[in-house]
Structure 1
Amino acid sequence: MKHLFIINPFAGKGGGVEYVEKIEEYFMKNEELGNVEPYYIEFTKGPGHATEITRKYVENDRYRVYAVGGDGTLNEVLNGVMDSSSSLGVIPAGSGNDFFRNIGDTIDSSLLYRTINGEEKYIDVGKVNGRYFLNVASVGMDAEIVANARKFKKHPLFFGMSSYIAGIFYTVFRYKSFNSMVNINGVEHNKETLLLAVANGKYYGGGMKIAPFADINDGNFDVYHIDKANPLKIVLFFPQLIRGKHESIKEVKYFRAKEIKIRSEESFLLNVDGEIFDCCEANFNIIPNGLRMVIPLKTSN
């Protein structure tokens, strides 16, 4: 087996770089035991570079490719791995690490070794406007919050969910819902969209449980549409959103679907696993068993 580690040195305030020594030590010990497995370490230099590096390696050979960084790095590596024979592992070293919550038990000193020796299992993959995603893609106020949270994340006082919460309060009194046409399971809905979240995984925003019933192996998206609401009510229902208890709120509508489309005459932001794009239409579809994911061995505790 060939191993490729894509490290984002800027994710999580540099936490990914700390894995370099551990990676080298692991393979050195294996070599001393006669278990020689080629491994390669590459560092990203900017947006899109992780996808570029990954594609270069997996184009003509099979690797276990490990995304060492945050959810953004994982998304970039995913888009490099798809349509190849390679598998994808995740070594969370970002501030949110939301997707890892769907496959891992804990982040500890043994995680690297448990992942390298993990089992490969097929999981579902989402696709929106030609870009693949593993966790959650969303439009509306949420994407605005993510964009603003990224600004707060650069400040040393904010990390993980705290930057997301700061983004909420910065955005909530400024953002307006927009008129949209949402197609879910072939049924058209005229909406005033505050937020549309299309979830393959359960968590986003540094631990917010947006889709408590989502399953990365069920062949469906869990879809949440939030209608227009006044700013004060938005602030009040975010604690319920964090705990995954938001389905009782009247503005929240829940669906399960394989295909979703949203379009508007107004431009809106699209959030794809933390990457932000500007568009007027978004087309989502699920790819059942679309990826071989490396699942870490469980801890003995």
Structure 2
Amino acid sequence: MAADEQDRVVCVVNPSSGVRRGRTTEQRIAAELPDAQCWVTRYPGHGIALGRQAVEDGYGTVVAVGGDGTLSEVANGMLAAGGEKVRLGYVPAGTCNDFARGRRPVAHLGGLLDRTRDQQTDVGTVTFTRPDGTRGHRYFLVGGTVGLISVIGQRFTEKTPVNRVLKRLHLPLAETASSLRTLARWRPVAVRLELDGEPSHRIITNLAVLKVPYFAGGLTFGRPRPARAGHLDAVRVAGVGRVGVVGLMWRVFRGAAAGHPAIHLQEVRTVRVDADRPLPVEVDGEIVGSTPAEFSVHPSCLTTVV
């Protein structure tokens, strides 16, 4: 990459992230990164296409402006285009912003050009089953889930009349309704699980595969540090009934999940999960497909700056 290309910057902005402050963010980019291009996502998945285009157009730094989902889309596009050597910046402007937790985001966007802030970041990869039965593939920077949390996410994304009305009225209300509907019918599920090739049969409430220790806006399962380089945190929540789930969720929200007997955490390189009936697979906030699914660490890293 030529020196002039290394200095070229493009910002990929999701105007629907967080509290819909897209216009304010674009004004800030114009003031603090005046030489940067600004591209705006228009639909779900558009960040993947724009990330790919940025690499193909020779940009040296691509800045994702939005939530963890926006960051994930841009990273997927960059990696699909062979952009491992391109810097990936992140301006956390979403609802959760879990990737940036534990790091100090720049106060001035010009700080994203400071190469002393660069970090080498592992990228997770997941292979899953699409609705048509073919196999799909995604990279992830935060984590993925299979079980209760992914089923709640699937309910939330369903395009039903009730969901549409609730989302227009109040987004948190729609999220709460999806959670309550799921919990009312929830039963622990039997899965076939392989951690680093060791097979087992388990009854689970949820399985999380994490690259960072945070999820859902700063919640943790009791360990506030990420897995070692080249590893994933596999967090298995053993099968518990509805009352047990509510109690566990209460402890998680209070930051008191450490030591809970239903939580089993193991640092691994690979995870495979399957079930008799397909379970939805959620990755970086998006339902991408269903089980069977395999998680691992991508052999190369991205250079990230926050």
Q: If the length of structure 1 is used for normalisation, what is the TM-score?
A: 0.84
User: Do structure 1's residue 61 and structure 2's residue 58 form an aligned pair?
Assistant: yes
Residue-by-residue CA offset, 1:25-71 (whole Å, 9 max, x unaligned): 2244xxxxxxxxx4211111111111101101202524211111111
Rounded to whole Å, the distance in 2 between the matches of 1:117 and 1:267 is 45
Superposed, 1:269-280 pairs within 5 Å as 269-280=280-291
Q: Which of residues 229, 235, 238 in structure 2 aligns to 1:218?
A: 229
Counterpart of 2:213 in structure 1 is 202
Q: Which letter does structure 1 place at the counterpart of 2:28?
A: K
The reply to whether residue 16 of structure 1 matches residue 27 of structure 2 is no
The residue aligned with 1:88 is 88
Q: Once the 2 structures are TM-superposed, how far is the Cα of residue 216 of structure 1 from its aligned partner?
A: 6.1
- Which residue number in structure 2 is paired with residue 35 of structure 1? none
Residues 222-269 of structure 1 deviation map (CA, whole Å, 9 limit, x = unaligned): 111112211011001112223453242222221110100001221111
CA distance in 2, matches of 1:243, 1:196: 20
- Residue 123 of structure 2 aligns to which amino acid in structure 1? V
Instruction: Verify the 8 A CA contact 1:214 1:222 in the aligned structure 2.
Output: no
Deviating more after overlay: 9-18 vs 180-189? 9-18
Contact 1:201 1:211 in 2 (8 A): no
What residue is the counterpart of 2:120 in the other structure? 122
CA 1:112–1:149: 2 relative to 1, 3 Å: farther
Q: Please say if residues 210 and 242 of structure 1, whose CA atoms lie closer than 8 Å, have aligned partners that are also in contact.
A: no
2:49 is aligned to 52
Matches within 5 A, 1:137-286: 137-148=144-155, 154=167, 157-158=170-171, 167-210=178-221, 212-215=223-226, 218-286=229-297
* CA deviation map 1:173-194 (0-9, x unaligned): 2222222110002211101222
> Is contact 2:222-2:258 (8 Å) kept?
no
Provide the secondary structure at the position in 2 that maps to 1:13.
coil
- Contact 1:267–1:278 (CA<8 Å) still a contact in 2? no
Letter in 2 for 1:104: R
- C-alpha spacing 1:217/1:192, structure 2 compared with 1 (3 Å): closer
**Aligned counterpart in structure 1 of residue 39 of structure 2, from 38, 42, 52:** 42
Report the secondary structure of 1:173's partner residue.
helix
How many aligned residue pairs are there? 281
Structure 1 residue ranges without an equivalent (≥5): 29-37, 296-301
Structure 1: 4+ residue segments shifted above 6 A: none
Of stretches 117-126 and 190-199 in structure 1, the one that deviates more from structure 2 is: 117-126
Amino acid at match of 2:139: Y
Report percent identity of matched pairs.
26
Pick which of 229-238 and 241-250 moved more.
Answer: 241-250
Contact 1:194–1:227 under 8 Å retained in 2: yes
Distance 1:277 1:177, change over 3 A: farther
What is the alpha-carbon root mean square deviation over aligned residues? 2.5
Cα 1:98–1:208 change in 2 (3 A) is same
Structure 1 range deviating more: 17-26 or 181-190: 17-26
Structure 2: how far apart are the matches of 1:103 and 1:246?
22
Distance apart, 1:167 and its partner CA: 4.5
Residue of structure 1 in register with 2:138 after alignment:
131
- Structure-2-length-normalised TM-score: 0.83
Q: 1:23 to 1:96 in 2, by over 3 A?
A: same
User: 2:98 aligns to what?
Assistant: 98
